[in-house]
Structure 1
Amino acid sequence: MAIKGISLEEEYKKNTGTTPADIKKLREWLKTQPHLPGEYMTDLDLILIYHCCDHSAEVSKQVLDLHYTLRTLFTNFFKDRAVDKKTEQNLHNVLLLPLETRSRNDDAVFYCRLLDYEPKNFEFAKSLRSVLMILDLWQFEEGTWPGFVLIFDLDGLKLGHLTKLDVQTIQQFLYYLQEAMLVKVKGLHFLNAPSFMDRLMMMIKPFMKKELLEVLTIHQIGAKTLDKFVPMVALPKEAGGEFKSFDQCRDEILARLRANKEFFVQENKKRVIEAKRPGKPKTISDIFGSVEGSFKKLEID
């Protein structure tokens, strides 16, 4: 069934501190930015941005620009997104599940794991592309969250999987997660850490900022230590929880995506037209060559 997005009335009832007047001001500024997809952006898009930037108008403007710039430049993740055969096949290899239960701190929790343990069938960039598709649809449905927790269950991970991880995809995903994803990242958990976890950390740590490392927790194989952060009962049955089976979860996610194909048709329109950007057009090298610091944590005098 096609998802009906959260209404503005429901969102404002959350009392997050965002007001219609705040969003109106951001919308007025947006009209002065010809390269941004303002005509396709909803008030909910603006609310998500303003919320994750802790109600700073100046930081919101910078994150808004960066968010849509990265969605235009990071083509591996965002170009021509559709619920097609490739997407569906990928979701038979990995389970990507927004949990119905919140964290102990009431944060939204996203759970990821392998379903197919054969390294040759693992497609890293496609899996992250699917993560971002499901996350977008989930935010459209629920609006803002106090925070966001990401769980990677490494059960079944083999050394062969590490050879499928490429540096560019790791760099782009972690940059987007830390600088431009419209959430407040409150936790990053690796469950069932394999004996070669140090090798995986060597690959990803160079792209992680201090703030992300501070919320990173590594859980040993079979440990119940996640329960301190997220109730373990919320996980699928085969992962030690009391939720549905892997197959049920996968089938429900696939059905949800199939019923909401039009959502991605519309979302694909929200891209930057660099030729219209005041000043010089931005490229990937501009992003990784010159952007220093975290916009989300920028201090405005």
Structure 2
Amino acid sequence: MDMVAMEYKRDDKLKKEDVNMLQVWLKSQPHLPEMTEQEIIWFLKSCYYSNEAAKSTIDKFFTMKTLCPEILRNKDLKQKGLQETINTILYIVLPTEGYALGIARLMDVNAEKFNFHEACRLSDMVMMLDMFKTGTKDGIRCCIDMQGATFGHVARVGIISLKKFVFYFQDALPIRLKSLHFFNSTPVLDTVLTMIKPFLKKEIAEMLYVHKTVKDMQNFVPLECFPSDYGGKATSLAELHEKMKKDVMENGEFFAHLDSQLVDEKKRPGKPKNEMDIFGTDGTFKKLDID
């Protein structure tokens, strides 16, 4: 059974007629790239089956990718910076009995090897590849292990790039975010949160939690769902890292496809969009309307 058929089979709230309506709408939007049926399903499901919300998210997704190539495009696996980051950072999505579990952490704590742009790019690649290979999720809890993070790492984070990625993550990425957790908290975390919080929507800020250790997260995710390094039953972080690297390196064709899906602002009905339309000039985000 192909992935599209599986999506319909395992989710009776997902309706073929709603997907068809979005396919028709897409043809009326000459500025948007072509999408597969599977890709349309990602957005409809992430928007809780609302066609109007899906339309808005689709537009934001492709517009952000087009305007922010430094963090969301150029997924060339031969690129030196990306290859270094694949070895430096782990981001993996694990299945659980409840919501999926996303785990991010440094595998090499040398701050000189940390590239924030490439870290954004890699996390996007992993999340999109997981949807492509395993299908949509009812929700995901994203967990960031702060072990090894230093002020040297924070110094390499550009505030404008951070703003762009936070916007993309909370408003454009086709996932159902259920909670955002930082654990193994260190003094540097206060600085990280000070940087991030001004860009978070209220509903996302209310999903953010800080934990001293992974055990403190058990009210959200059973400990057994975590990698063995944390006392769970999943395989080790080292094995998961090797799996992530293998999956990424074997799917260059998929990433090239993602890179090709861009907005043509010259063809957008109404006024073309630019970064000021999305971010404004006062540090706050503006609503990205669709025509």
TM-score, structure 2 length as denominator? 0.91
Deviation at 1:83, TM superposition (A): 2.0
Q: Identify unmatched segments of 5+ residues in structure 2.
A: none
Q: Secondary structure at the match of 1:161?
A: helix
Q: Residues 251 and 223 (structure 1 numbering): CA distance in 2 closer, same or farther, change over 3 Å? A: closer
Deviation at 1:16, TM superposition (A): 4.5
Q: Identify unmatched segments of 5+ residues in structure 1.
A: 296-301
* Structure 1: distance between partners of 2:237 and 2:56: 39
1:44 pairs with 2:35:
no
CA contact 2:99–2:140 (8 Å) conserved in 1: yes
Q: Which amino acid aligns with 1:135?
A: M
1:163 pairs with 2:155:
yes
What residue in structure 1 maps to residue 19 of structure 2? 23
What residue in structure 2 maps to residue 298 of structure 1? none
Tell me which of the two structures has the higher relative contact order, counting C-alpha pairs closer than 8 angstroms and 6 or more residues apart: 1
Q: Residues 6 and 98 (structure 1 numbering): CA distance in 2 closer, same or farther, change over 3 Å? A: farther
* Structure 1: distance between partners of 2:143 and 2:2: 25
Match of 1:175 among 162, 167, 174: 167
What residue in structure 2 maps to residue 265 of structure 1? 256
* Structure 1: distance between partners of 2:209 and 2:17: 39
Q: Secondary structure at the match of 2:131?
A: helix
Deviation at 1:86, TM superposition (A): 3.0
CA contact 2:93–2:102 (8 Å) conserved in 1: yes
Match of 1:32 among 22, 28, 32: 28
1:135 pairs with 2:127:
yes
What residue in structure 2 maps to residue 54 of structure 1? 48
Where do residues 95-106 of structure 1 align in structure 2 (5 Å cutoff)? 95-102=90-97, 106=98
Q: Which amino acid aligns with 2:58?
A: L
* Structure 1: distance between partners of 2:226 and 2:60: 33
Deviation at 1:62, TM superposition (A): 1.4
Q: Residues 16 and 68 (structure 1 numbering): CA distance in 2 closer, same or farther, change over 3 Å? A: farther
Deviation at 1:243, TM superposition (A): 2.7
Q: Say what the alpha-carbon RMSD is for the aligned residues.
A: 1.9
1:246 pairs with 2:237:
yes
* Structure 2: distance between partners of 1:247 and 1:97: 11
CA contact 2:226–2:232 (8 Å) conserved in 1: yes
Percent identity over the alignment is 32
* Structure 1: distance between partners of 2:259 and 2:88: 25
Post-superposition CA distance 1:98-143 (Å, at most 9, x none): 12435xxx21211000111121111112111100001110001122
What residue in structure 2 maps to residue 282 of structure 1? 273
* Structure 2: distance between partners of 1:23 and 1:291: 29
Q: Which amino acid aligns with 1:218?
A: V
1:206 pairs with 2:202:
no
1:86 pairs with 2:76:
no
* Structure 2: distance between partners of 1:194 and 1:294: 36
CA contact 1:107–1:148 (8 Å) conserved in 2: yes
Q: Residues 193 and 112 (structure 1 numbering): CA distance in 2 closer, same or farther, change over 3 Å? A: same
What residue in structure 2 maps to residue 70 of structure 1? 64
Deviation at 1:213, TM superposition (A): 1.2
1:231 pairs with 2:225:
no
Post-superposition CA distance 1:213-235 (Å, at most 9, x none): 11111001x35111221222333
Q: Secondary structure at the match of 1:97?
A: strand
* Structure 2: distance between partners of 1:119 and 1:291: 30
Q: Residues 170 and 291 (structure 1 numbering): CA distance in 2 closer, same or farther, change over 3 Å? A: closer
TM-score, structure 1 length as denominator? 0.89
* Structure 2: distance between partners of 1:78 and 1:124: 12
What is the number of equivalent residue pairs in this alignment?
A: 285
CA contact 1:97–1:111 (8 Å) conserved in 2: yes
CA contact 1:88–1:254 (8 Å) conserved in 2: no
* Structure 2: distance between partners of 1:86 and 1:45: 28
Match of 1:189 among 181, 188, 207: 181
CA contact 2:105–2:147 (8 Å) conserved in 1: yes
Post-superposition CA distance 1:142-188 (Å, at most 9, x none): 22211121110001111222111211121111111111110111010
What residue in structure 2 maps to residue 120 of structure 1? 112
